Structure 1
Amino acid sequence: MMTGMNTEACDPAESAALREIFASRPDAVPPAGPEAVRSFETEHGIVLPEPYRTFVAEICDGLREGPPDYGLLPFAKTPSDWGSDRPERLLAEPFPLTEAWLWEADGDGAALSEQEFDDRVELVFDHGSLVLGTDGCGMYWHLIVTGPQRGHVWLIDENGAIPFGTRSEASLMPGVPGFAGWVTHWAQDRSWFADE
């Protein structure tokens, strides 16, 4: 399991790095403000992890262009291609994973009925995370807001769920974990995946 991030207090160095990255972006959406963030948290029974909480309250609440490819969404939104027929997102329910899960490679999935498998995948998409944005073709970046992975960013798509910023040599997406690490990785124009 990935650990070591402080999701309770905003590190001044992370905040400064985020301010620097977004300061020159003409497509940056103004910050939402502390009151909007607190209202959202109360409505959903969560506290957003730092430094994302400070980011949307004081620095920026989205970009029209990357990261991800189709822009960083305002904190209370889902992408236009998310679909209106999806189940309700339950942010206070813990995100169910602690390590990558590739649907086709899952030996346990074979023991599940199709409905049980679909229900388990649905939990990954809809429990304990905010959608940060999309790279298109059903590839969604999520910030985990509840559960053991709180504060980590995951890519969830039709093939599985992969955490960004795992520290092992065999990681699919190595980098510095957390929202600030994810944004910095993008700002440096680096590939998300280890083999690219």
Structure 2
Amino acid sequence: MNTETCDPAELAALRELLASHPDAAPPAGWEAVRSFEAEHGVVLPEPYRTFVAEVGDGLRAGPPYYGLLPLAQTPPDWGAGRPERRLAEPFPLTEAWVWEDDEDPALPEEEFEAWTSAVFDHGSLLLGTDGCGMYWHLVVTGPQRGHVWQIAGEGALPFGSHVADPPMPGIPGFTGWVTHWSRGQDWFPDA
């Protein structure tokens, strides 16, 4: 997965899958993308960066269930009073963490709260929500840059993975994620 240079084949696939979608929003343009990046101290990973600038800045209807969010938006259920999003801070995870299953969390309560807050608010932008507090994030900083994660109150799982038996198998990255849902495939095929 190349997050620095936009692969023309990936962009063509995204264009084919989404540009003609009846609920597609117009592209944001390069000026808006560069302004967002400067404001947040990040460079968005490819091919998402070029997609938003040249193809479309979201979908008004799903998937994700409530649509692909425009750049810089949060879903209506994100909630007031959440900490400020810090995109330039590295995303803290490199593997799945289902904290709901942690019978004996190794972190004291205060540290646990700080870690889970960082998972939600550091190093990623929101792509959309499937409701019930399940959010799709595109990681923009850190070792998982370019990967899409589902983050919910129960834990955080990467979409697509190099590990054996990943909870959400598929081709990692924004294009793999879009291709997966555009084909109507299940997120958790073995569940």
Query: 1:134 deviation in Å?
Result: 0.2
Q: Of residues 2, 12, 35 in structure 1, which corresponds to 2:8?
A: 12
What RMSD, in angstroms, separates the aligned Cα atoms of the two structures? 1.1
Partners of 2:106 and 2:164 in 1: CA distance: 30
Please, what TM-score do these two structures have when normalized by structure 2? Answer: 0.97
Deviations 1:142-183 (A, max 9, x none): 000000000000000011000001133411000000000000
TM-aligned CA distance change 1:111 to 1:23, over 3 Å: closer
Q: Of residues 45, 48, 51 in structure 2, which corresponds to 1:49?
A: 45
Alpha carbons 1:168, 1:174 under 8 Å: kept: no
Q: Of residues 94, 103, 106 in structure 2, which corresponds to 1:98?
A: 94
Q: After alignment, is 9-18 or 19-28 more displaced?
A: 19-28
Q: Does 1:147 align with 2:142?
A: yes
Q: Which amino acid aligns with 1:143?
A: L
Query: 1:104 deviation in Å?
Result: 2.5
1:88 maps to: 84
1:68 maps to: 64
Deviations 1:61-82 (A, max 9, x none): 0101122100000011000110
Q: Which amino acid aligns with 2:134?
A: M
Partners of 2:20 and 2:70 in 1: CA distance: 18
Percent identical residues: 71
Partners of 2:148 and 2:106 in 1: CA distance: 29
Query: 1:105 deviation in Å?
Result: 2.9
1:187 maps to: 182
Q: What is the SS of the residue equivalent to 1:155?
A: strand
Q: What is the SS of the residue equivalent to 1:142?
A: strand
- Give the number of equivalent residue pairs: 191
Please, what TM-score do these two structures have when normalized by structure 1? Answer: 0.94
Structure 1 unmatched ranges of 5 or more: none
